[in-house]
Structure 1
Amino acid sequence: MSPRILAIIAAFSASFIYGVNHTIAKGLMPDVIGPYGFILLRVSGAAIIFWIISLFYQREKIAFEDWGRLVLCAIFGMVINMNMFFKGLELSTPINSSVVITLSPVLLLILSALILSERITLLKGIGITLGLGGALLLILFGVKTQANAPNIPLGNLLFIVNATSYALYLIFVKKLVEKYSSITLMKFLFLIAFLINIPIGSSQFAAVEWATLGFDEIWKLGFVVIGTTVLTYLFNIYALKQLSPAVIGVFMYLQPLIAALFAIITGSDQLTTLRVIAASLIFTGVYLATRKKKVKVLADES
């Protein structure tokens, strides 16, 4: 099998894991484990795994001046981002979460304009407006509650906080990615995130009745820690070696489809007309906001 085919399989696998994670993670909260305790488990497990993996790589030393940025990246990428997503998932629904988080590229564009002074064109401005409009439609006019979602508007709002925090992480981590290997960054980022998350999630983590957990709960917890946190990262890294970032980005649009199908099949969620309209606005907005202008190249006539 060619390396490119393997890369496509890896990219699809990452999107598939992310897609089903919306339903699997939600099914564990809050009866098995609270959202903040879940994140403490997630970052501690990932930290252990990445530190073990790092033993097989050349050791890198983090420069003193980079520690502040590293801590900032951990806060936005593995603390605020993850806690807001899981708390939002507890309050809202798998389909809503998978749709709203696709706003990440739009929010990244807005924050890049504010922080990095990048220019926003008219087309991108229209895309931003449509994308945010779709999200507001879900928050303001969507179903307020359902059996497994006690506060859908607040949960959807937390998804936007989650996506905003992740966009900030992407902006701040860029300089670190240029200096250090991915494994080095991940092992330190998750270690810092673990330390910060201890006071946030320790009480919920301690409240879990670990001795009484059945196989169904254990494999789902393992899926989130190993699959969603570690394997997806490794799959995307492998895929990026053969595919362009633009191609990888296309697979992001598979996540809501996979999440919706899985949630509907398992009976965890259902489609509504409003959700379809909101998703259409968000997808169109993301497409317009991230669309690159084609440059015509004139042939050399000399």
Structure 2
Amino acid sequence: MTVNTARRSPLTVYVALTFSALFWGSGFAVIKFGLRSVTPLQLLAGASFFAALAEVLWCAGRGRLGQLRLPANLLWPVLALGVVGQTILNGLTFLGLEWTTATNAALLYASSPVLIGLFATMFLGEAFGPRKLLGSLVGFLGVAVIITQGWAGTVQFHGVMLGNLAVFGGAVYWAVYSVATRSIAQRISAEAFTFYLLLLGAVGPMAWDWARERHFPLSGISRPGLAAMAFMGIATLTIAMNFWNWGLERIAASRVGVFSYLEPVFASLVAMTFLGERLTAASGAGAALVFAGIYFSVREPHSEMSSSHSEK
């Protein structure tokens, strides 16, 4: 019944997925804004705290806390993945955004579909045909243009370049993580996986911040810093991830994936509007190459598309 209802009235699903992309894209600008008043570690700890709290309230409000029990054979793997999953990803992103722009960061993360396709071939044995090869080459060329800003001959590992490398390291890490955890994610509900990812993801940053500062992560933080932490934890992490998972339950994954292309668009618009960023010629050219790479990587053969359309 649920699937049929979703097919008859998909507008609500599309709105939820659009908000996911909006919250994720806006998150890059919010991180950049937050780093004006707090350190990357403080922002990471605070955002993780708000995310864990919001996720518990989300599941409790939906009456799902009793349905989050893990199978015994998956307990320790999920706990371990929960501790490191968001911590490393967000840590590299927050660190990189100290030096690079929100626009560059979003464009680098836009290469994730290409990276995931490549690692799925390497680790899961998925098919890697000529289109995926072309897509990977074009996509990585775009990433190189964004990272070096078109000056590959005079690469210097500091400033914007260092920030771009840290952010791209986060994108690579998340692609590997997504592929490596695919078998586990398929054996438990998306809601349970998200719950442990966000709840346990707060442990490391908060403990690290406590060890360095000797006080609760939110103590002594300015209102702009707290606002950035709250937005990141509640909107970018909790709401966006749950909306995305909800959408995946109701429409085909290939249709859901299209909404991820809105993320760098929203990121650029928000960063340009509120942070005064400007899209450089190199970033624009790199973005075009990245999206061309995504197109070649995910495009289905014509015969398969025709078959799919005829079945509908």
TM-score after normalising by structure 1: 0.86
Shift of 1:155: 1.2
Paired residue for 1:170? 178
Q: Return closer, same or farther for 1:70/1:286 CA change in 2, 3 Å cut-off.
A: same
- 1:4 and 2:10 equivalent? yes
Q: Return closer, same or farther for 1:153/1:207 CA change in 2, 3 Å cut-off.
A: farther
SS at match of 1:190: helix
Shift of 1:180: 2.0
Shift of 1:207: 9.3
Q: Deviation digits for residues 216-238 of structure 1, max 9, x if unmatched?
A: 44333211110001110122123
Mapped to 2, the partners of 1:105 and 1:38 lie a distance apart of: 27
Name the aligned partner's letter for residue 151 of structure 1. Answer: G
Mapped to 2, the partners of 1:126 and 1:152 lie a distance apart of: 28
Total equivalences in the alignment: 290
Which has the higher mean CA deviation after the structures are superposed, 269-278 or 111-120? Answer: 111-120
Paired residue for 1:22? 28
Mapped to 2, the partners of 1:180 and 1:99 lie a distance apart of: 31
Q: Deviation digits for residues 115-155 of structure 1, max 9, x if unmatched?
A: 112221111101101111111112223589xxxxx711111
Aligned counterpart in structure 1 of residue 44 of structure 2, from 39, 45, 56? 39
Paired residue for 1:213? 222
Paired residue for 2:146? 138
Shift of 1:200: 4.0
- 1:13 and 2:26 equivalent? no
Shift of 1:177: 2.7
Whether the 8 Å CA contact 2:114–2:136 is kept in 1: the answer is: yes
- 1:117 and 2:125 equivalent? yes
Whether the 8 Å CA contact 2:44–2:205 is kept in 1: the answer is: yes
Mapped to 1, the partners of 2:40 and 2:221 lie a distance apart of: 19
Which runs of structure 2 are paired with 1:181-192 in the superposition (5 Å)?
181-192=189-200
Whether the 8 Å CA contact 2:209–2:217 is kept in 1: the answer is: no
SS at match of 1:32: coil
Which runs of structure 2 are paired with 1:50-129 in the superposition (5 Å)?
50-55=55-60, 56-57=63-64, 58-74=66-82, 77-129=85-137
Q: Percent identity?
A: 20
Q: Deviation digits for residues 93-112 of structure 1, max 9, x if unmatched?
A: 01101100011111111111
Shift of 1:65: 2.7
Name the aligned partner's letter for residue 32 of structure 1. Answer: S
Q: Return closer, same or farther for 1:18/1:191 CA change in 2, 3 Å cut-off.
A: closer
Mapped to 2, the partners of 1:207 and 1:142 lie a distance apart of: 43
TM-score after normalising by structure 2: 0.83
Q: CA RMSD in A?
A: 2.6
Shift of 1:211: 4.3
Give every structure 1 segment of 4 or more consecutive aligned residues whose post-TM-superposition deviation is greater than 6 Å. none
Whether the 8 Å CA contact 2:105–2:164 is kept in 1: the answer is: yes
